Structure 1
Amino acid sequence: MKSFNLLTEDEINSFLSIAEVFNLERGEYFIREGNICNTVAYVDSGILRSFYTTPEGEEMTYCISFQNSFMTAYSSFITGIPTMENVQAITPVKLLLLQKKDIEQISGNSANWLRFAKIMAENEYLELEKRVFSYQRESARERYRNLLQTRPEFIEQIPLKFLASYLGITPRHLSRLRAEMI
């Protein structure tokens, strides 16, 4: 588990002792729209996608999480309000789940965990800001090229329909971009 060199071995072991192992098969959901999320998941293996459904019924993938990352329906987790997002397994996934009450307890008992949670929240904000700016400033071609350079595992492991949605384009447009860039 990546801990930004903040957590001691005992603190990591404490997390592992209270975390619940949860497995998802491809297509199964960690959280569904309309539910309240009181859990944070550490992705031990596999790939998850976060998406919402437009009023027209189209699924829009906006986040993809790989092994060694954390995942939650963040706004629901913070506010206790039902989420507008879905988190679904793209591949078989092994998660380590930590309930909100447990996170509050370990954060209250450890300044390191509190700092760790702060850094994780800051990183989530920075990733979101980066995505918003890329949609506002870059063309689809530039977003795809950047993804090729920075996250080649996305290209290799994510089904095209999810990848196209993540880039904000149609699968057909993505196919054209891929053909042009070969």
Structure 2
Amino acid sequence: MYDAILAHVGQLIHLEPDEADYFTSLLRYKLLRKRQYLVQAGDVCKFDSFVVRGCLRTYFVDERGSEHVVQFAVENWWTGDLYSFLTQSPAAYNTDALEDSELLQIDQASLDELYRRVPKFERFFRILSQRAFVAAEQRVIATISQTAEERYRNFLERYPALDQRVPQHLIASYLGFTPEFLSRIRKQKTTRKP
């Protein structure tokens, strides 16, 4: 059950067997059925969650009731409301399962103890945080400076498998346009193929 997360961690830090055992002893398994919430806006996000299998989305609902997708999470990704998790304050986002999903979770107290007992995990999570920050910055720049067609093409290049796993209206929401507009872009893309 822990092979995927240990391989994921092993890409950034080397763990001795006793460190790996300690780390996995802190994790809890969570099964989410399709459409089930991991966290809802207003609740406190109690766990940082690693996706072993499945697909989830993180989104917020504006004052008009429209949903805005801010993140998808598939295998080997971490998900949840990070601000809520770190501060133990109410979540601004909802995260729910788009497919039946299996997660491994760690709570804040266990994570702090992990940092104390195996300090190299601070490096691991720092690198993840840096990568997430850079990705968020790139997304802001793309939203400001790229055409809708360019944003969609870049989405497909960066996340090729998601196009087949995630409903088109959610991809449109993630990219910041309507499903109808995404449908036009996709139609133009298919008609341009040689």
TM-score (norm 2): 0.90
Q: Sequence identity of aligned pairs in percent?
A: 27
Residues 129-168 of structure 1: matches in 2 within 5 Å? 129-168=137-176
Kindly report structure 1 stretches of 4+ aligned residues shifted beyond 4 Å: none
**Shift of residue 9, structure 1, vs aligned partner:** 4.5
Specify which of 83, 93, 98 is matched with residue 85 of structure 1: 93
Specify which of 65, 70, 74 is matched with residue 73 of structure 2: 65
Whether 1:12 and 2:11 are equivalent positions in the alignment is no
Task: Provide, for residues 80-138 of structure 1, a one-character-per-residue CA deviation record: whole Å limited to 9, x for no partner.
Answer: 22111000101000001111100000111112111111111111111111111111111
Matches of 1:48 and 1:92, distance apart in 2 = 9
Gaps of 5+ in 2: none
Task: Provide, for residues 7-57 of structure 1, a one-character-per-residue CA deviation record: whole Å limited to 9, x for no partner.
Answer: 314233322222111000110010000011121111000001000001100
What is the aligned partner in structure 2 of residue 171 from structure 1?
179
Specify which of 104, 107, 118 is matched with residue 126 of structure 2: 118
Amino acid at match of 2:71: C
Amino acid at match of 1:69: W
Task: Provide, for residues 117-164 of structure 1, a one-character-per-residue CA deviation record: whole Å limited to 9, x for no partner.
Answer: 111111111111111111111111110011122211121111111111
